[in-house]
Each structure stands twice: as structure tokens, then as C-alpha cells.
A and B are shown apart, each in its own frame.
Chain A
Amino acid sequence: MTEAVTIAPETQAEIDRWLKKYPTDRKQSAVLQALMFVQRDNGGWLSEAHLNAIADYLELPRIAVYEVATFYDMYDLKPVGKNKIDVCTNISCKLCGCDKIVSHLEKRLGIKIGETTSDGRYTLKGVECLAACVGAPMMQINDLEYHEKLTPEKVDAILDRLEKEGDK
């Protein structure tokens, strides 16, 4: 059994704001946002206990939350590093050579896709299409920045910047 967790009152208020947008018997509609908020509060990942807490809060069967949380790449069910690098490995990026980007990242960070560096600074993930096919191959940093038309050199530049920011 995992230990139960509670959702912080401020976060509950945020979820409630989203719940108001939907009919009262359609609480499931707010599950994506609820997962986002709770993941943010928990340093970027969700444990089984968090998923259960969200299910209970939204009065959903737990499996309904597990389904959503395991489907989307934007939710992490294991602890992640300080910087999360999502490389798209879907069809357009694949055709445009994302393999090269992935192997470059793996070499430079010394980890495989799906792993976190031992110093906890980087997590490297292969993700599904992020809707930037026009700029393939692409990657996303920390759920915020898109970097398109990648080359190994471009990747190095981005990582150098992250290193620097990390030193601050």
C-alpha cells in the first residue's frame, strides 16, 4: 500500500476553478488540469498516491486517472531531474533524423532514453508528437521551450546554456 497524500488547499482551489467550467456531473473533464497542478506541486512527478488522491477528489474510479496519467507523455510517474528533455521520436521527426539527436543527447548526458543523470540534473525522454512536425526534428525543455530543426551542434548549444543556468 502506498501512503495516502492530500492535495494542498491552494491546489484544490485551482482544480475547483477548472471544475466550474464543466457540468457538475462531468468532473472527469478536469482530470488533465488536476494532474498538471499536482505534478507541479510535487516537483514534476506523480506517485500512485497522488493519482489516487486526484481520483478521490474528482470522485472518479482510480483506474480512470491511471489511464490518463499513463497515456500522456507530459505526466511523469517517476521522479525527474531538474531539467526534463523531451525528444520527439514520432514519425515526422523520425523521418527527419531524430535518431541522430537522440544518440547525441545520450552520449553527451551519459544516459539512455528514459533515464536521469546521477547528479539529478537531466532526465531524457522520448515522447510522442508535440505538434511541431514543420520544425522536425524537435525537442522540448521543461514543458516550456520548443527547439526545432535540431542538429547536434544546436543541441550542444542548448545544453551548454542549461549547464550555465544550472551553475547560477
Chain B
Amino acid sequence: MFTIEINGKSVEANDGQMVIDAADAAGIYIPRFCYHKKLSVAANCRMCLVEVEKMGKPVPACATPAVSGMKVFTQSQKALDAQKAVMEFLLINHPLDCPICDQGGECELQDLALCYGEDVGRYTEGKRAVADEDIGPLVATEMTRCIHCTRCVRFGTEIAGFRELGMTGRGEKSRIGTYVKHFMQSEVSGNIIDLCPVGALTSKPYRFTARAWEMSQHRSIAPHDCLGSNIYVHTRGYEYSDFREVMRVIPRENESINETWLSDRDRFSYEGLHKDHRLTGPMIRKEGKWLQVDWPTALNFAANKLRDIINSKKPDQLAAIASPSSTLEELYLLQKIVRDLGSNNIDHRLHQSDFSQQENAPLFPGMSTELASIDSMDAILLVGSDIRREQPLAGLRVRKACLNGATIMRIGSIDHDVNFKLSENVHTTPSTLVESLQAVVDSLTSDANKSSIAKHLKNSEKSLIILGDEAQSHSQATLVRALCLEIAKLSNAKIAIMTLGANSAGAWIAGAVPHRKAAGENSSAVGLNAQTMFSQPRAAYILLNVEPEHDLIHSSTAIAALMAADFVMSLSPYMSPVHADLADVLLPIAPFTETDGTFVNVEGKWQSFNAVSPPYGEVRPGWKVLRVFGNLLELNGYDYICASEVRNELEKLLQHSNVPTDRTSLEKNTSNKPKGFEILYEWPAVCVDNVSRRANALQSILMPLQRTVSISSETAKDLGIQSEQLITLKQSDREITVPARIDARIPNTCVLVPKGVSLTSGFGDGFAEITVQRGESHA
């Protein structure tokens, strides 16, 4: 640490720090285009030229290391002249199309041209024009506006690990592009929109819909994965007006979670909130017809039905299933109602099949370390995880660790492509996953270090085991978890259970599990879980943000039970065709942008957010609906005035909570290897919940592989089919005939069923026996 002088002010600087960083830290702004704190220094735009005492020529502040005693002038005549000259050069070829440019009003070039540009140009020659490229449905290009800062190229190379954009050509002919027509294949491609300092790369879904100055900016939390990325939601329209609309979502910097980035899913899912997709008001089914009714009618109808069933049958005839992306407040109130009515049948573990030892779980499954610490791990073992698509920004951190020299290893049944180097890649089947983990445990306990995974974990000072969706939805998930805990214990590794949705941790804490009440208090009676509440059909069900045909691993059993039930009420912003078939009441609740709420992320961080726009039409926030519903059921203690009161009540309960850490223990491996085919499920990144499934641009990036069932080439040969021919899958009395694709990621004798897509709507009954046959109707 030493001091330098900038504009006569003493400023602290570190060894190796660049002048621009020291100035930024001290709040002194130096203009820049190519410099970005998260990217390498390119020093090619020259906008940050400053004067340094005893240096003859102006120097770029982004590439000049601070030296003790250095005197920097950012606004001297010499510095200003240099900056103005650079600006004049940049504007030579930049089109004067700000009025029709989406970046207008939030453009770094426009802002700096105001300060450093001349009002009249001296350049009279023809300007350069560059043909646009179509790089996919998310990012729009207008390459004539490009000033060649190469931020997008560096982001791809350094951060995202996709080297798809580059600068081709030379001098005046140089241009940014893919050279060969090509759609970007990245889960974080939208970040180049933020990085682009001009209007060359803009958001395609948002294009030409609003102006920066028309919008209000609101702090919120991204609702699709367990990281809880911090976001800004931009809305247009007066506050409290029904016309206020969400126009777009951009990242809000939070170094400990999402840094300055955002995944494409979190950025573009807002399209799913659009009014066209939404329920406008409560609906009830009368004599087989859906009627629009007012709230009192709908809620009274539901309360009466529910009371009748509970009075005429037993309270345990009621079951509730909630999405783990519901808010903490909604989940808490839902379980409170269910329990106050005398039932413990509530769950949020939509992808889970193995619920054994749930009593040994900690307060919530999550990470035993911080997200940011992933960057500095020495070894990381991914177990059944497609981290790139499940938690894209955690994936970027794994990549960062890898670039820092960490050894990244993987055990899993789907050979997902990764953007980091895998030192060990054990490609298993679901049934051999357990054996592979056992082998690691065995080599850690015996002296003979046979497994190199064990060796790496043991020899690393800081190591981490990450459990992804496959590990958690595995048919022997408890055993998988116990083995991972054992490996972690033996190798002194940290563990991260990357849970589904934005708020799985919150769901556990709120008590949306059948064996524990709020704040982890043991329930005297253990209710039915997400599987058994359907395999042992109930008379009444409450669905909270759940679409059974897509969200559940036991879709077919669930739909059968829901169809047969006396009464089903669904709380959701949307109505799906399946809801229309099986529900009796539809209560439209607000999505995350229209309600106050809290998400608890995988680290256990509570992040609250407020509604950014009024609920659409007759829609109401879920916590309010449940509060009124509790009152109508004549239950006590539902007089909350605001969402934070619900949160405070739960927080108070937590003060007395003392759930021990994870005690999941190793029980004997009782696996009986299934005969015939094994089923694998995959929820494509853009199909994980009801909001993302309705976001049009995101849906259009679904890969062909995610629109078909996948099998290995050997399996295809055995079945005698070619890629894209039909196969018939039969499981628990349900049969579908769908196109199959040969997919190198899939092990033999396995079939990968994508969930959340219309192709397999309603199909899937966990790991029940499946038969796979050549489909009929081969032309």
C-alpha cells in the first residue's frame, strides 16, 4: 500500500494496481470504453488517456500501474486534449443514429461524447458500414455502431468460456462477429449486452419497446436458481397504475453472489410474466364449466369445500405441494394452514424420490461455505451436476477456480459439456453412480489410494463437493448424499447441495416439509411427502405454483391422484391445460415482481424484495390470499398486515431452533440393479418453472436435444432405430411415443426424458420400471 496523487488528491494504491482502479476506488472518474474491472486489460480504446508527471506522452490509465509518488492528472489540458482527440476518432465511423438506437439514453459513448465530443465533426468522407450478424434470439446486433472495445470478445474468452465472437479483418475492415454464421451457445450470453458500451449489442426481446428514461428501476432477486442473484427490474408506467409493466431485467452488482453478471434465464424470463400468459382473476369450476368469479366467491367456495372434506373425512385427506421458487412467506403460510387444519402432508421436493432419513437433514440443505469461496477452491468434485445450466453463475465460479489452477472432477450419468477442464470424468449410469462414490470412499479409508478423485480431494487444502439435480433426484438420493458427506468428512472437503428453485432453503425453514414444522421443529406426526401424497391419493389438494405435468418427477401418478380427488385448488399466476382439467378453483397469485417476499439462497442468505408493479388485473400476492384464506377457514393467527410480519414471525421461531448439522448416515447399499432400461430426467435450463417455460425468447434457445428423448448410439442400434425416429416409452400404465435422438452424453441402456417440455407433458413416474421399444408408425 502506498499513495499516489490524482488531480492533487492523495489516493491509496496497491502494488500492481492500475491507475484507473486506484482512481475508481477514490471516486475519481476516468472515461473508458474497453476497460472493465472483471476483464483483462486491452488498452485499445485509448479513452482513458491521462497525464502523468514526468511521462512525456499521455498514458492509458487502465494499463499504467500505479507507482508510489506518481502524480496523475485526469483533467489537465494535455489529458483533455488527448481524450477529445480519441473521441473524435471514435466518432468518425460511429453512425449518428441515437434516435433509433436502443442504447440511446444509457450509452457510454453518448454520455462521453457529450463531455468530450465536438458539436460539429470535421470528417467529411464516407462512413464505414458493417453488415449485421444473427447471433441468436437473445442478442440483437447493429455492428456499424461497434467501436471495437472487445469487451464482448474478452467476456467470452475469459469469463464464459465461449470463444465464439472475435475480431476479424484489419484496420478499417476489422469487425466483431462470429465470421461464420453461428448462434451463440452460452448460458450467460446476455451479459455482453451490458458490457457493450454502445448500441452494437442490445437485447433482442426488449428491442424497440422502451427508452431508458421512461423506466423506473427496482431492486429484486432472481427467482430461478438457488443462488438468489441480485437484479434490477425495470418497469414502465406510473406507480400504482395498471399499465405499469416489467420491461426488462438487468444484474445488480453483488460481489458475493452474482458479481456483475446474470444468467440468461434470470435475464430473459420476465417475458413469461407478460399478461398474455396470465390468469386475470379467480375462477371456479361449476358443472364442468370454468367461471370467472370475484375473490370472496372463490375463497368461500374453496374454504367450504375444504372444510366439508375435512369434516366428513379425516384431516389427513388434505395434501399440499408447493414450488420451491415460492416465497418464504407463501410457503410459511401454506404449511401453517395445512397444519392448522390437522394435516402434515406438505412438501416442496418436486424432483425427489428418495425421502429416507429426512429426519437427519439439517435445517436446510445448502452449502457449508460461501458461494464466493468456490473461486479459490483447489479441487471440486461435481456429483450429478450440470452446474453450467442448473446454476449458471456458480458454473462461472467453478470455471474461475479451474483457471486459478483447481482440479475439477465429475461423477454423473449425463456427460454434460462443460466450459472448464475436467481432470477426472467418471461417466456412470444412475445405478453405478453409487458404486463410483463408494469407490472414492473406499480409497479414502484404505491406504491404497486407488481412486485419483480421492487423491486429489485428499491432497487439496480447500476442496468442495457439489451435488446437482441428478444427485438429489436420484432413486437412492439419501445414499448418494451420505456417501458425499463421508467423502467430505474423510477428505476435509466442504459440501454444497445445489437445490432446486430459488427458495428450497426457505421451504425447509418455513416448514414446507412433511416431518418438520416451521423453523425445523419436529412434527409429532410425519405427513406424506411429494411422492406418497400422490401414490396414496388424497381427497383434497392445494397446489402452489406447481404444474404437475412438468414440475414433478412423479407426474403421471400425481395427475392420476389429482384427477380422482374431490377437490383441487391451484394458486398460480397461470392456468395450464392440465390445471383446467383437474382443478376446481384457480386462484391467480402474483409472480415475484408483483409481491413482497423473501428467498433464502443456498448459503442461507435471506434476501427480501418488494413488488415492482401492482398485481395484474384481479391477481393478488400469494401471502395475502393465504392470509385471507386462513381467516375464512376460521383459523387463528392470520392477521398479518404486511409480508414482513410473516417473515418476522418465522424469524422469531428460528431463535429457538436448534437443528443439528447433517446427520445423514451411511446405510447398507440395498440397490438392486434394475433390469432393462434406466430412466434419467433432465429439466432443460429454460424449463425449470412456470415462469421460464413461458418466456418466448428463452424457449427458442432450447436445443434440439432437449426437444426429443435421448438414447445412446448403441441403444439405438439395439432398438433398430435411427436418430429422430420414434420410440415408445411405457412406465406405470402411461405410454408415449416420441422421437428419439442419439446423444453421446447418455450411457447405454439408459433413456433421458426431458421434463418441462410439451413433448413429455405428464409423463414420468420417478424410477418405476420403464420399457423402451421401437415406436410404431415407421414410414
Q: Which of A54-75 contact B (CB under 8 A)?
A: 61-64, 66-67, 70-73
Give chain A residues whose Cβ lies under 8 Å from the Cβ of B171. 128
Complex Cα–Cα for A64 and B180 (A): 12
Residues facing A in B143-172 (CB within 8 A) are 163-171
Contact, CB under 8 Å: A66 / B163 = no
Which residue of A66, A71, A73, A128 is within 8 Å of B180 (Cβ)? Answer: A66
B178 on interface, CB distance cutoff 8 Å: yes
Does B179 sit within 8 A of A, measured CB to CB? Answer: yes
Q: A148 at interface (Cβ–Cβ under 8 A)? A: no
A71 to B167, CA, bound (A): 9
Least CB distance from B201 to A in Å reads 16
Q: Contact flags (1/0) for B173-204 with A, using CB distance below 8 Å?
A: 01000111000000000000000000000000
Pick from B163, B168, B178: contact of A71, CB below 8 A.
B168
Whether B179 pairs with A66 at a CB distance below 8 angstroms is: yes
Most A-side CB within 10 Å, residue of B169, B170, B179: B179
State which of A63, A70, A71, A72 has its C-beta within 8 Å of the C-beta of B164. A63
Determine whether the beta carbon of A66 is less than 8 Å from that of B170.
Answer: no
Query: How close is B102's CB to chain A, nearest CB, in angstroms?
Result: 25
Interface of A, secondary structure class, is: helix
Task: Name the CB-closest residue of B to A72.
Answer: B170
Cβ contact of A64, chosen from B166, B170, B174, cutoff 8 A: B166
Given B163, B169, B170, B174, which contacts A63 in the complex, CB threshold below 8 Å? B163
A71, B170: Cβ atoms closer than 8 Å: yes
Interface size class of A (residues with CB under 8 A): 10 to 19
Which residues of B sit under 8 angstroms from A70, Cβ to Cβ? 168-170, 179
Name the residue of chain B whose CB is nearest to the CB of A66.
B179
CA gap between A48 and B180 in the complex, in Å:
8
Residue of A nearest to B162 (CB): A61
Closest to B173 in A: A70
In the assembly, what is the distance between CA of A77 and CA of B174, in Å?
15
CB distance from B638 to the nearest CB of A (A): 58
Q: Which residues of A contact B179 (CB under 8 A)?
A: 62-63, 66-67, 70
In the complex, what residues of A have CB within 8 A of residue B180's CB? 48, 62, 66
- With a CB–CB cut-off of 8 A, which chain B residues contact A66? 166, 168, 179-180
B169 CB contacts on chain A under 8 angstroms: 70-71
Q: Which B residues are in CB contact (< 8 Å) with A72?
A: 170
In the complex, what residues of A have CB within 8 A of residue B168's CB? 63, 66-67, 70-71
B170 touches A128 (CB 8 A): yes
Minimum CB–CB distance for B332 against chain A, Å: 49
Chain B residue at minimal CB-CB distance from A2 = B180
Tell me the smallest distance from the CB of A59 to a CB of chain B, in Å: 12
Within 8 A of A (CB), among B666-716: none
Query: B-facing mask of A84-128, CB < 8 A → 1, else 0?
Result: 000000000000000000000000000000000000000000001
A128: which B residues are within 8 A, CB to CB? Answer: 170-171
Whether A67 touches B167, Cβ cut-off 8 Å, given contacts A48-B180, A62-B180, is yes
A61-B163, A67-B166, A71-B169 given; name 5 further pairs at CB < 8 Å. A61-B164, A63-B166, A64-B163, A67-B168, A128-B171
- 15 A/B residue pairs, CB under 8 Å, sorted by A: A48-B180, A61-B163, A62-B180, A63-B163, A63-B166, A63-B168, A66-B168, A67-B167, A67-B168, A70-B169, A70-B179, A71-B168, A71-B170, A71-B174, A128-B170
